[in-house]
Amino acid sequence: MVFYQAGSLALMLFSFGVAIIMFYLFRWILKDNLRALCVSYINLAWLGFPFALALFGPEISAAMVALYVGGSVFGNMWAVTAVSTEKLPWSSIAKKV
């Protein structure tokens, strides 16, 4: 079982922040919200987690879970805005997530 460890919040915020930067960078390059979301929202659980476990062992689990949570929060919030045709207020986005 994975419990909170020091630095987990920082890893979540790092993952969230990098995903935001990647989204806006690729939205500028690709001129398409949905494609930019596909590039910036990386699901670490499917490929990253097994590779990290194989390379670094079970002690990396807490860090990978924290990175995954940060990316997941980004993916859920930005998916609503990326496929929406009009600009939504943050309160509406929070309700949909």
Average pLDDT, the chain: 78
pTM passes above 0.85: no
* Tokens at 56, concatenated: 């670094």
State residue 28's pLDDT score. Answer: 93
State residue 4's pLDDT score. Answer: 63
- Summarised one tens digit per residue, pLDDT across range 2-27 is 566 677 788 888 888 888 888 889 88
State residue 19's pLDDT score. Answer: 84
The CA-atom distances, in angstroms, between 44 and each of 47, 50, 80, 85, 89 are 6, 9, 20, 28, 29
The CA-atom distances, in angstroms, between 21 and each of 10, 18, 49 are 16, 5, 22
Domain coordinates of the chain in residue numbers? 8-96
